[in-house]
Chains A and B, each alone.
Chain A
Amino acid sequence: MRIHPRYIQRGAVAILGSATLLTILILIFIIFFVLEKGLPVISLHFLTDNPEDMGKAGGIFPTLIGTILLPLLALIIASPLGIFTSVYLSEFTKENNVTKIIRFGTDCLAGIPSIIFGLFGYIFFVVTLGFGWSILSGGLTLAVMVLPTIIRTSEEAIRAVPKSYREVSFSLGASRWQTVKKVILPNALPGIVTGVMLSIGRSIGETAAVIFTAGSSLRIPTSVFDSTRTMAVHFYILAREGISAENAYGTAATLIIAVLLVNLSAYWLMNRFIAKRN
């Protein structure tokens, strides 16, 4: 018997819809679970005080500093490197075996577990280059870790800019670089920003690569050569070593809110930029 396409369509919509609903519910559940346990802990003192007794009491101020500095450093290093690389790969090279190998390599790198990057960072930045457990080592390691993501998402964004824009630009006497600057980058920006945002999210939440390279000092850092502890690492240590479940959730909630704020402000900035251009 042939089922009428209308019923098949209804079935398909039901399956697609339930999948979406389930995904959203799981996300909301996780966020609410953490916020419910963590929000009551958060106070001005919690955010601005130094931890006492290994984090059992007091606040998380130094980990806020570490959480801002490490991803920031990673971003400052990885964004220009990644974006320039993707522009070069997509606009200034012809598709050949070398670019295919580079692309395959970045895809592989993007899939490597972060602890491997941590190990590499430890051996190379901490020991060989002698940076020690420090913000510098941690930032560099995170930069290496997110570089493939930035390269691949930027490249996708650049490729998504219609070919006709390039043709028009070239036909008006623009060089490749002028075309990149005036047409391609402005139009690829939303996609590039998305990739960078993903990378910030990953670096903010990273623990394995950070413990190995930036250490877990609770002192407020005074230079890039000082060790530091990020919120994610702090959360891990508090929970793993059973120091304080309460403060662990407080830290986790702060982390979630921080990521949310970073995302919201980035999208706000981007929308303003787009609105200004049109």
Chain B
Amino acid sequence: MNSKFQIQNLNFYFNSEKVLKEINLEIPANKILGIIGPSGSGKTTFLRSLNRMNDFEITSRIEGKILLDGKDIYNSDFDVVALRKKVGMVFAMPVALPMSIYENVVYGPKLDGINDKNKLSELVEKSLSAAYLWDEVKDRLKTSGMRLSGGQQQRLCLARVLAMEPDVILLDEPCSGLDPISTAKIEDALAQLKKEYTIILVTNNTKQAARVADNTAFFLMGEMIEVGVTKQIFTSPQKSETNDYITGRFG
């Protein structure tokens, strides 16, 4: 098995509160890892530690190691900007930057110094198509991204990440505010994308994990209770907490 991320003895604190406890996890490449668990279980914090978005929380502190392709991303000489280009993120709230659809998609590539018009247009079409949005917006790329519906904006966010051509895509409850049709489109896109990318999907919707994830991890109160092949987690979980959660006894 080819590991993209290796998480070793990860502890995470906000002030003195321990929000992640002794997490050990290998995340295989070109697979979708679903992370489920009730709110407040540390799923989002865990996800945000993978591209160091927690760095902005002044009071946060981390222990342990997170290796990306064998390199510790919290090592002082690791380039954070390069990390975020390699590990893209789609947030729970769809946020189109207040600029055109086109400019939203090329935001990352332009930062990278790509200015060739043809190359950018190509990237825009490729990324929007992969996010299942191209047909809906191809005639109005110059209009503001903020005019799109929530579901469209979230696919725009996905396209924006894809345009950076990352290795890994982190998704933090990307469908929490979306209607079933938009959700289905995003799930279809993810199923296609895993051929090229490693995908980590945090979701409050256990059914979504069951539908799209290859592997599923269950988080509870900052601990990773169990991880395994999705089918096994949902049909014969090893731990009683997992069973209680997926059968809807709490959460």
Q: A164-B91, A168-B91, A278-B144 are in contact. Are A173 and B85 (CB under 8 A)?
A: yes
Encode A150-183 as 1/0 by CB contact (under 8 A) with B: 0000000000001011111111111100100011
Query: A183 near B97 (CB under 8 angstroms)?
Result: yes
Complex Cα gap A169–B146 (Å): 15
Query: A173 near B111 (CB under 8 angstroms)?
Result: yes
Query: A171 near B111 (CB under 8 angstroms)?
Result: no
CB distance from A81 to the nearest CB of B (A): 27
Query: A172 near B98 (CB under 8 angstroms)?
Result: no
**A183 nearest in chain B by CB position:** B97
Complex Cα gap A182–B108 (Å): 11
Query: B53 near A172 (CB under 8 angstroms)?
Result: no
**A182 nearest in chain B by CB position:** B107
Question: Which residues of chain B are near A6, meaning CB under 8 Å?
Answer: none
**A164 nearest in chain B by CB position:** B95
Q: Is A277 an interface residue (CB 8 A)?
A: yes
Q: Which of A166, A173, A277 contacts B81 (CB 8 A)?
A: A173
Query: A172 near B95 (CB under 8 angstroms)?
Result: no
Q: Is B18 an interface residue (CB 8 A)?
A: no
Q: Is A263 an interface residue (CB 8 A)?
A: no
Question: Which residues of chain A are near B157, meaning CB under 8 Å?
Answer: 168
Complex Cα gap A162–B112 (Å): 24
Which label, helix, strand, loop or mixed, suits the secondary structure of the A interface?
A: helix
**A165 nearest in chain B by CB position:** B97
CB distance from B192 to the nearest CB of A (A): 22
Query: B53 near A168 (CB under 8 angstroms)?
Result: no
Query: B81 near A169 (CB under 8 angstroms)?
Result: no
Query: A169 near B164 (CB under 8 angstroms)?
Result: no
Query: B111 near A172 (CB under 8 angstroms)?
Result: yes
Within 8 A of A (CB), among B90-132: 91, 93, 95, 97-99, 107-108, 111-112
Q: Is B27 an interface residue (CB 8 A)?
A: no
CB distance from A183 to the nearest CB of B (A): 6
Query: A167 near B111 (CB under 8 angstroms)?
Result: no
Query: B56 near A172 (CB under 8 angstroms)?
Result: no
Query: A170 near B84 (CB under 8 angstroms)?
Result: yes
Complex Cα gap A236–B144 (Å): 50
Q: Is B89 an interface residue (CB 8 A)?
A: yes
Q: A172-B108, A173-B111 are in contact. Are A277 and B99 (CB under 8 A)?
A: yes
Query: B98 near A171 (CB under 8 angstroms)?
Result: no
Q: Is B181 an interface residue (CB 8 A)?
A: no
Question: Which residues of chain A are near B164, meaning CB under 8 Å?
Answer: 172-173
Query: A172 near B84 (CB under 8 angstroms)?
Result: yes
Q: Is B51 an interface residue (CB 8 A)?
A: yes
CB distance from A271 to the nearest CB of B (A): 15
Q: Is B31 an interface residue (CB 8 A)?
A: no
Query: B111 near A178 (CB under 8 angstroms)?
Result: yes
Query: B98 near A164 (CB under 8 angstroms)?
Result: no
Query: B88 near A94 (CB under 8 angstroms)?
Result: no
Complex Cα gap A65–B209 (Å): 71
Q: A167-B53, A183-B97, A277-B98 are in contact. Are A173 and B112 (CB under 8 A)?
A: yes
Q: Is A187 an interface residue (CB 8 A)?
A: yes
Q: A165-B97, A167-B53, A278-B144 are in contact. Are A172 and B91 (CB under 8 A)?
A: no
Query: A278 near B98 (CB under 8 angstroms)?
Result: yes
Indicate the member of A164, A168, A169, A182 with the most B CB atoms within 10 Å: A168
Complex Cα gap A165–B85 (Å): 17
Query: B81 near A164 (CB under 8 angstroms)?
Result: no
Question: Which residues of chain B are near A277, meaning CB under 8 Å?
Answer: 98-99
CB distance from A160 to the nearest CB of B (A): 13
Encode A251-278 as 1/0 by CB contact (under 8 A) with B: 0000000000000000000000000011
CB distance from B212 to the nearest CB of A (A): 22
Question: Which residues of chain A are near B88, meaning CB under 8 Å?
Answer: 171-172
Complex Cα gap A171–B50 (Å): 11
**B107 nearest in chain A by CB position:** A172
CB distance from B30 to the nearest CB of A (A): 22
Q: Is B43 an interface residue (CB 8 A)?
A: no
Within 8 A of A (CB), among B64-96: 81-82, 84-85, 88-89, 91, 93, 95
Query: A172 near B58 (CB under 8 angstroms)?
Result: no
Query: B97 near A169 (CB under 8 angstroms)?
Result: yes
Q: Is B160 an interface residue (CB 8 A)?
A: yes
Encode B38-76 as 1/0 by CB contact (under 8 A) with A: 000000000000010100101000000000000000000
Within 8 A of A (CB), among B118-171: 144, 146, 157, 160-161, 164
Complex Cα gap A169–B99 (Å): 12
Which 4 A-B residue pairs are closest in the complex by CB-CB distance? A173-B85, A172-B108, A171-B89, A173-B84
- Other A-B contacts than A164-B95, A168-B157, A170-B84, 5 sampled, CB-CB below 8 A, are A95-B58, A167-B53, A167-B56, A167-B91, A277-B99
A residues whose Cβ falls under 8 Å from a Cβ of B:
94-95, 162, 164-175, 178, 182-183, 186-187, 277-278
